[in-house]
Amino acid sequence: MEEYIVSIKEIDWLDKENPEAEILFEISGKQFWAFCHPCYFKEGEIVEAYFSFIEEEVSESAFWAENKEQKKEVVPSDSNRCHYYCYGELKSIHPVVIDCGAIDLSFGDWINDERMIGSYVYFVMARLDIGRV
């Protein structure tokens, strides 16, 4: 699990008693929204955090073929602030780690062909999650 230093910009509480929120954070000069539960962050603090995500299903052919421009970026959805379209480079396969520019994301352990390392891929996060290290 990769750990990052992030700046917490805003907390949008969904349920303060069950501490559940959507967090706006900044990393490498870019801002992202992520879901957090339990949420013990405070606005304005700089913390060590880790990321996980819920994958939205895309076809295997889309995973391998939809990043022809060899981009490394996480693009926010216009309709859901914790939903992202991800373009990146496959860094490793055990576990699968994808370099998406500002964030490296762990994507399970399902690829066995080492020749795929360095391939550019595409996937969709239905929801990005953040947690405190």
Q: Give CA separation, 108 vs 24, 88, 112, in Å.
A: 25, 15, 12
Amino acid making up residue 93: I
Cis peptide before 76 (omega within 30 of 0): no
Q: Region 16-22: what's the mean pLDDT?
A: 96
64-117 pLDDT, tens digit per residue, is 999 999 999 999 999 999 999 999 999 999 999 999 999 999 888 888 889 999
Q: Is the pLDDT of residue 1 over 80?
A: no
Q: pLDDT value at position 49?
A: 97
Query: How far is 11 from 29, CA to CA, in rounded Å?
Result: 18
- Dihedrals φ, ψ of 61, to 5°? -65, -40
59-73 pLDDT, tens digit per residue, is 999 999 999 999 999
Q: Which of 43-47, 94-98, 126-130 has the lowest mean pLDDT?
A: 94-98
Length of the chain: 133
Q: pLDDT value at position 90?
A: 97
Q: pLDDT value at position 119?
A: 97
Amino acid making up residue 11: I
Q: Is the pLDDT of residue 19 over 80?
A: yes
3-state secondary structure the chain: CCCEEEEEEEEEEEECCCCEEEEEEEECCEEEEEEECCCCCCCCCEEEEEEEEEEECCCHHHHHHCCCCCCCEEEECCCCCCCEEEEEEEEEECCEEEECCCCEEECCCCCCCHHHCCCEEEEEEEEEEEEEC
Query: How far is 7 from 108, CA to CA, in rounded Å?
Result: 27
Q: Region 43-60: what's the mean pLDDT?
A: 95
2 pLDDT band, cuts 50/70/90, is: confident
